[in-house]
Amino acid sequence: MALSSESVDQGAYTSVLKLVSAPPITSVLVANRGEIARRVFRTARSLGMSCVAVHSTADALAPYVAEADVAVHLPGTAPGDTYLRGELVIEAALKAGADAVHPGYGFLSENAAFARAVEAAGLAWIGPPAEAIETMGSKIESKKLMAAAGVPVLSQLVPDEVTEAELPVLVKASAGGGGRGMRVVHYLEELAGEIEAASAEALSAFGDGTVFCEPYLATGRHIEVQVLADQHGTIWAVGERECSIQRRHQKVVEEAPSPLVERLPWMRDELFEAARKAAAAIRYLGAGTVEFLADDSGRFYFLEMNTRLQVEHPVTESVTGLDLVQLQFEIARGHELPAEPPAAVGHSIEVRLYAEDPANNWQPQTGTLHRFHFPTPTTSFASPVHRAYVRRSGDDVPPLLRTQESAPWVRVDSGVESGSEVSPYYDAMLAKVIVWGATREVAAARLAAELGRAEIHGVRTNRDLLVRVLRHRAFLDGETDTAFFERHGLEVLAEPLADKSTEELAALAAALADAAHRRTTAKVQGRLPSGWRNLASQPQRKTFAAGDSTYEVSYRLTRDGLLADGDVTLVEASPDQVVLEVGGVRRRFAVAAYDGLVCVDSASGSVALTPVDRFPDPSQQVAAGSLLAPMPGTVIRVGVSVGDQVKQGQPLLWLEAMKMEHTISAPADGILTELAVAAGQQVEVGVVLAVVQVEPAVQEAVGQVEENA
């Protein structure tokens, strides 16, 4: 079917779907939370449906709950007590008067028993058949089925029979996904322990501890194909996506089309054919994704099929103009797809913005998100630009001349907003930021600039890492694979965009903004400079910490202007903005002060400053060797006892928070003199977990190094 010569509009294809049977859906419950709940709400409302939310105690004030027409409380905070309780979700749907359930992704979205229970309760299931979910739910059985259907697969290894020659291998959970229950093993003696750990994690996350092994391709490309299948035998392969840049086997950057497939265009037809075979083999219905691992030569192998909507579905929507959620609803109601899907136009890139510290083992962050703002006019949960971005009067018109960008090209799908609390109970993703461009280079440049200018205050994020990746020469050349961070050095990519000189200027700007605030709020003599004296004796001083650095700002405001270190001139200062001229270059700093935190944004990067108290409270100090909880979470295992001799880097205990397992290790050789927690215990950020008394020889060596320095 040909596209309109006037424009590609979101929903253009769904408007011409042939209606076969249409049981009415007037109200839908989304069995999920956060940004995916908001995403489904957006489309459901456009189709005239009312929206029902379910929420845990921790999510009571979340934006998606406020946006729902009706919300039902699921008491508790842990997913196992709330979002994974299928019977409670169905009860909520019936109580709220919903006639359909959309599972989103994660949680119960690939639970065949839940899909059956939804339909048994008389509710419409906006997802694939339970049989298809069940078949693809076991990675072991699904690979056998795919091999029989003629889809290329990697050989499967029996964990107990792996040999030295077959290393390295990847231990994988048979159920679930998202990187949980996965371990890379390079040495045979480590295999048994890693299998046990992977099985335990899989059992905790998915209720199934079955694991298997397969050959590990360290530098593979992760390519996936979006499929849509209706009840009338039509199967669409709606373009491919590349999701090779990953951390902890979880995707970080996703794009459509794939740069590898663009370089090897013959590969696209083969991928699409394999994806259609996979969908046909299980009589699939609805939206799904067939995932492959490919090498640079174009050879590819089936990994798994996600029988649900993918996190990265917006990039496919951006280049096709489709609303995949709308298509899910339409297919569930019996509509028939046209013979062919729309062709992709331009390039779209999505990044996952996480509340985490990449430089510190991707440690999740919690706290109040004071400000969350993107500067460019954006759309949320709908394809950017597609309202009128392409005129197709002829295929011979160059792509750059076809674009008519009368609508935003930035899309932000987020479950948070300014003022939201980032809790430790769920995934650390704050938002998906999606940009469309006529070319890949334009899309990457736009996305990097948009992220760099965003104001994200209150929690540390991976924003700077994402910007560095998008501007990296290897990324721009399409050299992306699953070892991207290892190859190009995570320690380099994770460095803040703001260098030390920018941090120093940010500290000065923060001090001047604070002085301006005190002047504007002073009840007497507010027009005099802060700290003004008739006979000045000392400069104003203020100290800030930024990461591991401390900056003592020393300045004086005189009749002749600012007196400070360096070639710096004050142009203007207000409580929320400071303009400095540095070496003849004018620089603007936006300053936002919160309780115990000052955030300074500029073109050179964002800096989070902590004011340093001149007279710290001694009671807040902790003993040397104390190991503090880096985040709120649950102690899931303890591997040592008081009195044990420990080695530097030795795992002592494990925390679970934000869907991840985190290891707390010994900071140095020593003796464990205190263990303040036990398995199963909930802990808050900053509490003492254990104390390691450093061995005297080590302490003496450290002291000698410091003395020599």
Instruction: Report the half-sphere exposure of 640 (CA within 13 A, side-chain side).
Output: 26
Instruction: Report the half-sphere exposure of 36 (CA within 13 A, side-chain side).
Output: 23
Q: What is the assigned CATH class of domain 619-708?
A: mainly beta
Phi and psi at 499, nearest 5°, equal -85, -175
Report how far residue 644's alpha carbon sits from residue 650's, in angstroms, rounded to the nearest whole number: 12
283: left (phi over 0), alpha (psi -120 to 50) or beta: left
pLDDT at 378: 79
Nearest Cα neighbor of 432 from 459, 457, 414 is 414
333 is catalytic: no
Q: Is the previous residue joined to 257 through a cis bond, with omega within 30 degrees of 0? A: yes
User: Tokens 């934000």 map to which residue?
Assistant: 658
pLDDT at 161: 86
CB count in 10 Å sphere of residue 270:
15
pLDDT tens digits along 418-439: 999 999 889 999 999 999 999 9
Write the CA distances from 454 to 34, 271, 632, integer angstroms. 20, 37, 27
Q: Which residues of the chain have pLDDT under 70?
A: 1-22, 176-179, 384-408, 523-537, 615-622, 658-659, 696-709
As a dihedral over the C-alpha atoms of residue 557, residue 558, residue 561, residue 567, rounded to 10 degrees, the angle is -70
pLDDT tens digits along 601-646: 999 999 999 999 876 655 556 677 788 887 778 888 898 999 999 9
Nearest Cα neighbor of 342 from 385, 307, 390 is 390
Cβ 351 vs Cβ 289: under 8 Å? no
Cβ 103 vs Cβ 127: under 8 Å? yes
Report how far residue 503's alpha carbon sits from residue 601's, in angstroms, rounded to the nearest whole number: 10
Report the chain's terminal Cα–Cα distance, integer Å. 73
pLDDT at 528: 57
Token pair listed for 332 = 């569930």
- CATH number, span 14-135: 3.40.50.20
pTM of the full structure:
0.84
The correct answer on CATH 3.30.70.980 for the domain covering 349-460 is no
The amino acid at 290:
V
| DSSP alpha helix (H) spans, 435-494 | 440-453, 463-471, 473-476, 484-488, 490-493
Residue ranges per structural domain of the chain: 14-135, 349-460, 500-530+537-611, 619-708
Token pair listed for 308 = 């649900």
Nearest Cα neighbor of 321 from 242, 418, 252, 256 is 256
Per-state percent for the chain, helix, strand, coil, to nearest 5: 30, 30, 40
- Which residues neighbour 391 within 8 Å (Cβ) at sequence distance 6 or greater? 5, 6, 7, 397, 402, 404
- Which residues neighbour 307 within 8 Å (Cβ) at sequence distance 6 or greater? 109, 110, 127, 128, 132, 133, 136, 137, 284, 288
Cα 157 off chain centre by: 31
β-sheet bridge partners, residue 543 = 552
Q: Out of 241, 308, 387, 587, which one is annotated catalytic?
A: 308
- Which residues neighbour 265 within 8 Å (Cβ) at sequence distance 6 or greater? none
Cβ 329 vs Cβ 47: under 8 Å? yes
Token pair listed for 269 = 């037809």
pLDDT at 84: 96
Report how far residue 466's alpha carbon sits from residue 179's, in angstroms, rounded to the nearest whole number: 19
Cα 341 off chain centre by: 29
Token pair listed for 20 = 């076969």
Cβ 261 vs Cβ 223: under 8 Å? yes
**What size, in residues, is the chain?**
709
Mode of pairing for the β-strands spanning 124-125 and 183-185: unpaired
The amino acid at 203:
L
User: Tokens 């400071």 map to which residue?
Assistant: 578
Cβ 373 vs Cβ 418: under 8 Å? yes
Helix (H) or strand (E) holding 239: strand 235-247
Mode of pairing for the β-strands spanning 605-611 and 561-564: unpaired
500-530+537-611 fold: Glycoprotein, Type 4 Pilin (3.30.700)
CB count in 10 Å sphere of residue 43:
24
Nearest Cα neighbor of 589 from 494, 505, 687, 469 is 505
Report how far residue 493's alpha carbon sits from residue 473's, in angstroms, rounded to the nearest whole number: 12
Burial (Cβ within 10 Å: 0-12, 13-18, ≥19) of residue 431: buried
Report how far residue 699's alpha carbon sits from residue 448's, in angstroms, rounded to the nearest whole number: 45
